[in-house]
Amino acid sequence: MRVLLGILTIVLGFTARAHATEVCPYWPLVIAHRGASGYLPEHSLAAYQLALEQGADFIEVDLVPSRDGVLIIRHENELSHSTDVAKRAEFAHLYTKKQVDGIWQQGWFSEDFTLAELRTLKLKESMPRLRPQSAVQDGVYSIVTLAEVLELLSRHQQQTGRDVGIYIETKHPSYFAHIGKRHDGKPIATDITALLVQQLGKTSALPGQMYIQSFEVSNLVRLKHQLLPHVGLTRVKLVQLLGDSRQQFMQPKDSFSEPYDFYAASQGQLQLSELPSGLKALAGSRAHYGLLQTTEGLSAVASYADGIGPWRQDLYPQIGGVLPLLAEAAKAALVVHPYTYRAEADYLLRDGSGQQTSMQDELSWIYRQGIQGVFTDFPDIAVKIRAEVCKNGR
C-alpha cells in the first residue's frame, strides 16, 4: 500500500508540475489581458489574433450586453473611452448619465444599443498617450461578440493544434440584472451570467480550458452551484477577482475596494441568498476585499472558486520580500493570477532600494515566487521571460 501511495504521489506531483523546474515552482500561465492590448486597440479581433501568435495560453474577454441581449466584448459598458461613439451624430440622443456600480458616469452605454448599431462603431486606443503606436489603428477595428472570439479560438486550434483557453470576466452582473436602467428609464433586467452559460452550453467547439472571473461574489457562487452544473460545464474554473484591500476606494468615492453586490445588499438594493456560510455575515455589511484576503475569507472563497485574481499592487506594493497572500491562498488550495503587467513606465513598480524595475525583471521575480499565472497586455514579453526563467533559469 505504501508503495502504491508513493507511486500515486509521484504521478500526481508530475501532473501538477509537468513543466516546472527548480527555478519556477509552477509553469505560469500567460493570460492576454484584452488581447495583446499593449500593441493594438483592446478587445479587437486583431489584438486577440496577435496574442495567439505571441504564444498566450489564454485570452481574456470582458462581457457586457447589447440592448437586444447579445454578449459583446468591452471592458466597460460606457463606450466613449474605447470607441468613436462620441463623434457619431446619429447616436447623440443616447448620451446620458447613469449610476453604474454606485458611481455616476456620463456617456453612451452598451445596453442602449442594438448589436447592429454597435457594429457600426469603430474602436480606438484607450490609452493613446502611452500607446501612440496603437492609436494609429483608431477607426480600423469593430466591436466583436463572445461568439466571434470563440470561433477565433476554434479556428486557431484547428489550424495549429494549439488549444488556447478563454478567460471570461462578467462585468457589472448585479447592475445589469437587478439595478441598472436603460436610457429610457426602464430596467435593464439582463442576466449576463445566465446568458453566458446558455451560450457556452450551446457552443459545439469550446476551448479545453476556461475560466470565469468576477469582482462580485454572488454570481460566482451561482455559477458554481447552479448554472454550470445545469449545463454540464463543471470543468470551467472560477476566479474571485480582488480589488484594493486597503479601503482606499470605497463607495461613494469609487467601487474598487468592495464587491458591488455586497454593497448593494448593504443598501437594501439587492437580496443575496445561498452564500457560503463564511460570507453570510458579510453580505449585509460594508465588506471590502481585504476581508476576502484573510485566512477565513480565503477559506470561504475556496468553497465556490478555484482561484483569486488580486490587483498586483495589492499583492506586493514593491518588488522583493515575502508574499503572505500567495502563501495563504496556497493553504486554501487557490491559484493566484494577479493583474495587470504592463511595460510602460507609468505602471512599473520599485524594488526595496527604490529603483524602478522593468516588466521583465518583475516577471522574472514573480515567476520564481511560485505564481501560477499573470494577466498582461504584452503576452510576448511574458512568454519570453517564462522561457528564459522557467526552462533554463538564470
11 pLDDT exceeds 60? no
Residues 259-280 have a mean pLDDT of 87
Residues 19-36 have a mean pLDDT of 87
20 pLDDT exceeds 70? no
Determine the pLDDT at residue 321.
84
Flag the least confident range among 19-23, 30-34, 106-110: 19-23
The three three-digit cell numbers of residue 233, written as one number: 460545464
Determine the pLDDT at residue 2.
38
pLDDT band at 274 (very low <50, low <70, confident <90, very high): confident
Average pLDDT, the chain: 92
Determine the pLDDT at residue 322.
86
Determine the pLDDT at residue 33.
98
Flag the least confident range among 37-46, 64-73, 270-279, 293-302: 270-279
284 pLDDT exceeds 80? no
The rounded distance, in Å, linking the Cα atoms of 124 and 222 is 35
Q: What is the tens place of the pLDDT at every residue in 340-352?
A: 999 999 999 999 8
Residues 6+ apart with CB under 8 A from 211: 58, 165, 166, 167, 168, 236, 237, 238, 239, 306, 307
> Which of 287 and 228 is assigned the larger pLDDT?
228
> Which of 283 and 270 is assigned the larger pLDDT?
270
CA distances from 221 to 218, 227, 237, 272, 274 (A): 5, 9, 12, 11, 8
> Which of 6 and 173 is assigned the larger pLDDT?
173
Q: What is the tens place of the pLDDT at every residue in 53-81?
A: 999 999 999 999 999 999 999 999 999 99
pLDDT band at 13 (very low <50, low <70, confident <90, very high): very low
Determine the pLDDT at residue 283.
65
**Which amino acid is located at 109 in the chain?**
F
17 pLDDT exceeds 70? no
- Percent of residues, the chain, with pLDDT higher than 70: 93
Beta carbons within 10 angstroms of residue 354's beta carbon: 7
pLDDT band at 21 (very low <50, low <70, confident <90, very high): low
Using H for helix, E for strand and C for coil, what is the string for the chain?
A: CHHHHHHHHHHHHHHHCCCCCCCCCCCCEEEECCCCCCCCCCCCHHHHHHHHHCCCCEEEEEEEECCCCCEEECCCCECCCCECHHHCHHHHHHCEEEEECCEEEEECEHHHCCHHHHHCCEECCCCCCCCHHHHCCCCCCECCEHHHHHHHHHHHHHHHCCCCEEEEEECCHHHHHHHCECCCCCECCCCHHHHHHHHHHHCCCCCCCEEEEECCCHHHHHHHHHHHHHCCCCCCEEEEEECCCCCCCCCCCCCCCCCHHHHHHHCCCCCCCCCCHHHHHHHCCCCCHHHHCCHHHHHHHCCCCCEEEEEHHHHCCCECCCCHHHHHHHHCCCEECCECECCCHHHCCEECCCCECCHHHHHHHHHHHCCCEEEECCHHHHHHHHHHHHHHCC
pLDDT band at 281 (very low <50, low <70, confident <90, very high): confident
Top-level class of domain 22-392: alpha beta
pLDDT band at 22 (very low <50, low <70, confident <90, very high): low
104 pLDDT exceeds 50? yes
Burial of 342 (0-12, 13-18, 19+ CB in 10 A): buried
Q: What is the tens place of the pLDDT at every residue in 161-174?
A: 999 999 999 999 99
Nearest to 53 by CA among 209, 164, 210, 207: 164
Determine the pLDDT at residue 273.
76
Determine the pLDDT at residue 394.
43
